[in-house]
Structure 1
Amino acid sequence: MNKVYASAAEVLDGILRDDMLIAAGGFGLCGVPQLLLDAIRDSGVKDLTFASNNAGTDGHGIGILLETRQVRKMMSSYVGENAEFMRQYLSGELELEFNPQGTLAERMRAGGAGIPGFFTKTGVGTVIADGKVEKQFPTGPDGTMEDYIMEEGIFADLAVVKAWKADPTGNLVFRKTARNFNAPAATCGKFCVVEVEEIVPTGSLEPDSIHLPGIYVNRIVQGNAEKHIEQRTVRKREEA
């Protein structure tokens, strides 16, 4: 099976449709599959739901799809750094399902493991718990009962992720903190498309260094999108 495609448009051909649930890797602008997001925007699909830590910034990341009104709902843990995200949410134009960051990562991981639901203490006693199943477990000191809420695993129609290296079979290596949400997002998608910076020969990756095995990956495209910095903080040079 050939997993390597020539362009982001080709790698997504025949997959995209309206009303999809897409799990996207990345954290802020780190490890974001920008070329794939550009191709999704250019395809014109609409009413999308994205499961992603956040929506990047204005003009970058999923933010480009908010600007074109192609996103109906965000399942996220962070709204900051993106003025359009905040504006659409506060004006009622965008549906938002808030998730604690660790819960969102675990929901993706659970979906990838075939687990439809799990219990967590995170969010107990807050609006996060509204409408969710609650149960007590003997996890406190001396076995005292503690409250938990049930969260559902995420089973996405499509996963779009960014990796540093891949071989033609889809084995992936992520670079440093760009590993963030990419691995759990990749596993929870029924179909996984990966944007990589470098494709290396099969067998050249050290097995113990592979972060995600190729069994999870359906298609690969190589490309280097421009890397942006969310916030640049500098100080004046000290005089000698």
Structure 2
Amino acid sequence: MTRLNEKHIAIEAAIAQIKDGASIMVGGFGSPGTPFALLDELLEQGQKHLTLIKNDANESDIGIGKLISAGRVEHLITSHIGLNRVAIEQMNAGRLAVEIHPQGLLAEKIRCAGAGHYGFLTDIGIGTEIGEGRQEVDCDGKIWAIEPAIHADFALVHADLADRYGNLVYRGTAINFNPLMAMAAERVIAQAFQVKEPGGLVPEHIHTPCAFVSQVVEVNPATSEQGRREHGN
């Protein structure tokens, strides 16, 4: 019998929803909060021509770095790529389009998408390379630049705990970009170390409510790269 609002599915079925050319937000700040298992499955399944939105490019042999190294990413929207030599080489060779935003602007562009706004006004970067190509408006004698929101087809996020309805609890600094991205994509796939029955989470501890989550995948921390990086296993 199918459970009401059942969102707990196998990782293969969850990632199979993603098609070539999709835009994907990926949670994480370096390693903490990065959904390594979901990204490894995406690499295994072979989707290509992807647009990835992530705070950083990871290193070349982990996370989205594996997808970049495999030539599966066409466009990267990020804050920095300095730890990923392959991403830098691909960008310089014209094989990877990289759009870099200051971290605060990137976070706010994602937050605005989740809040249903077109964008926001800012004076950051006016008159510099950061502000090139932006539309500007005069409000009460002060010039502001319009920063449009960023949406995506999918968001891949990592949580410590979830339930079968898709409520999520993050652990420590792994919270970073995950809750913002879970609000800014059409479909949200979450991985968690433990997926509990409904009622198994303390309501006031929930960071991302189930309304924002499409599917939940359980990841074993004892055997996964995620567990080794977050728990030192």
Q: Where does residue 178 of structure 2 map in the other structure?
A: 182
Alpha-carbon distance in structure 1 between the residues aligned to 2:175 and 2:126: 29
- Offset from partner CA, 1:117-158 (integer Å, 9 cap, x none): 2111222221121111112335xxxxxx43321111111001
Percent identity among equivalent residues? Answer: 36
* Aligned-pair Cα RMSD in Å: 1.4
- Offset from partner CA, 1:1-33 (integer Å, 9 cap, x none): 320013x212222x1111111111011111110
Q: Give the length in aligned residue pairs.
A: 221
SS at match of 2:182: helix
Alpha-carbon distance in structure 1 between the residues aligned to 2:79 and 2:37: 23
Alpha-carbon distance in structure 2 between the residues aligned to 1:205 and 1:147: 47
Q: Retained in 2: the 8 A contact 1:29–1:57? A: no
Q: Where does residue 51 of structure 1 map in the other structure?
A: 53
Q: Where does residue 130 of structure 2 map in the other structure?
A: 128
Alpha-carbon distance in structure 1 between the residues aligned to 2:192 and 2:139: 43
Deviates more, 1:96-105 or 1:118-127: 118-127
Alpha-carbon distance in structure 2 between the residues aligned to 1:53 and 1:137: 31
SS at match of 1:221: strand
1:202 to 176, 198, 203: 198
Alpha-carbon distance in structure 1 between the residues aligned to 2:100 and 2:51: 13
Q: Where does residue 86 of structure 2 map in the other structure?
A: 84
Q: Retained in 1: the 8 A contact 2:32–2:173? A: yes
1:191 to 164, 187, 198: 187
What does 1:89-168 correspond to in 2, within 5 Å? 89-138=91-140, 145-168=141-164
Q: Where does residue 64 of structure 2 map in the other structure?
A: 62
Q: Retained in 2: the 8 A contact 1:100–1:122? A: no
Q: Retained in 2: the 8 A contact 1:46–1:71? A: yes
Q: Where does residue 168 of structure 2 map in the other structure?
A: 172
1:202 to partner: Cα distance: 1.4
- Offset from partner CA, 1:47-91 (integer Å, 9 cap, x none): 110111111112101000011100001000111111111111122
Q: Where does residue 3 of structure 1 map in the other structure?
A: 7
Alpha-carbon distance in structure 2 between the residues aligned to 1:215 and 1:118: 25
Q: Retained in 1: the 8 A contact 2:37–2:225? A: no
1:166 to partner: Cα distance: 0.6
Q: Give 2:172's aligned amino acid.
A: K
Q: Which runs of 5+ in 1 are unaligned?
A: 139-144, 230-240
The structure with the larger Rg is 1
Q: Where does residue 15 of structure 2 map in the other structure?
A: 12
Deviates more, 1:219-228 or 1:108-117: 219-228
Alpha-carbon distance in structure 2 between the residues aligned to 1:204 and 1:137: 50
Q: Which runs of 4+ in 1 moved over 6 A?
A: none
Q: Give 2:14's aligned amino acid.
A: V
SS at match of 1:170: coil
Q: Where does residue 225 of structure 2 map in the other structure?
A: 226
